[in-house]
Structure 1
């Protein structure tokens, strides 16, 4: 009679022999991220959570990631950094040192990406992120950080080009910006563009991140009779700015904002008060943007809205591109070795629903910004790389004349 231990051993051997081989036994590739699911910027952080998981689910449903002759499923290990930079750094450290994830996806916001990318560099684990655009992130010559947002210094580039052609051209411009990494980079790039365009910078003011009171700045705009106001900030700041502008009856010829305008939630929050606002986006859901996993950007946007109940903007599209870039690099490398995948990322070139993904020497891509404007209930593309797409509603009327 066989001993119990012998029977158990034989059963284990038999089970091993009957288990499928090849792709079904391939180890999952785990992607790790820390994003803002609670706190002041959670409304934007959810785009990344939803986009990451949506892309992973779609890729897995199509058979996963091909590494040599094996197919690997993707998995996501996600933490909520509670909109706290220090917590985010600790969580990324945990992801690589304890959770042993294979690769990293990024957080939202440049100040987070600036801090968290130091973790990926230290542990030599590639991070692909579409939440941080500050030039500072990519000026350090780090080798393991890759970004799918265009440089912050060029965010207002297309807006300034458009301003040169509107009638009447603005005679004075106010540049307002928060004191975080992204907005400082925006301001640094915009100053030189305004000067080159021959537009007079009458106000150049920095305000505290998460500011809620813009009355003093708005009073200056009114007293100086500023024609065009460019504001670099985060969505809650912009919402406060617009509401206070209305309450103080401050209505220059145009307002333009780095964030918010492309977002459905922003427009719903302001209602009719969002009308006439300019913004910019590197992405619109066009059927011309072909994609391996979703077909095209229009199909992606429709499927995303059906799944999550809200429209995607460029944050969501860049988040999907982050996942796809890692997948493409793994398949090109034929390996999950971090160094080989990092090297493959530096050479990757593919078309995605977000646009052409090809990282330059500093690890960033450079998609042109399209100027958009809220016109009634619609978000309208106004100005792009080929010039004016549609006439803007300009100049903006007084608040009591709408």
Structure 2
């Protein structure tokens, strides 16, 4: 077995004297090169550990486990709406451009068309018929009070007024569904359905559009969504309301899980989830890639054992962590769980009370390899 070549360990020879004159025997390694055993042990004293720059610490025990994964900022589907043309026609006015704010009910475009003229004309005609019916009803009421007109005539006049009122309401609703008044008989105004910002505009001035064609997308960007995808094995530990730490270039933010899909995405075979993040300060952008650290729930997450990722090495096809012993270190096989930043969860192999090599643990791995090579020679 071999020691760290930079440590220049000095051999210790203990001579055992016996009254019968036997040859002295050594309990120490036969040379400064032999500092390993076959079971993954490395024999080092405190001075040698310090000289090699190996730092020692205990694992972190407790606290909720986390999983770190890439995510994308999306618009909140509950606060995003497509604005379309209810009727076909020519766009004669655009009141909002990309990025501009609008209030609910504000006119954002005007469409000119024959259908708009028909809708507006029907409203006016229905209004005129209602006025006439109401006038007839008032006359019949006077005549009936004077016992000049029959009751049947009064009933007929009242029915006509009611029908005219219903016709006017229907005409107004049809025009309102198309967008409302546009300032002229042949024009319809397109109004914003919610307060927010214009995030998409699909038309230009003078363009002829068909009915139901998309004109704008408006979103309230004060609250955004975070699109996440979990492995099926992890999705069972994600709960609605779980906190999420969001990180991007020079920025951090807090979000919460609002939805975890009960079904796998058929294309990716992952579990989609959505988190909601407050964006009233305007620091996040739709479509922006970020890193999300999601807090896990479930049995054992409050007793999770976490170690720095620099403490983890691979040896002979196994994942190992070097645990401090009275005489040096021993390579201990472990099973890893989720990672979060520079920390990784150890599911098995450690109790949490050990001292482990955290910095420069790769030098210990190298020494194991040297020892095995010299053994084979």
TM-score, structure 1 normalization = 0.17
Q: Which has the higher strand share?
A: 2
> Which structure is higher in RCO with an 8 Å CA cutoff and minimum separation 6?
2
Q: Which has the larger radius of gyration?
A: 2
Q: Which has the higher helix share?
A: 1
TM-score, structure 2 normalization = 0.18
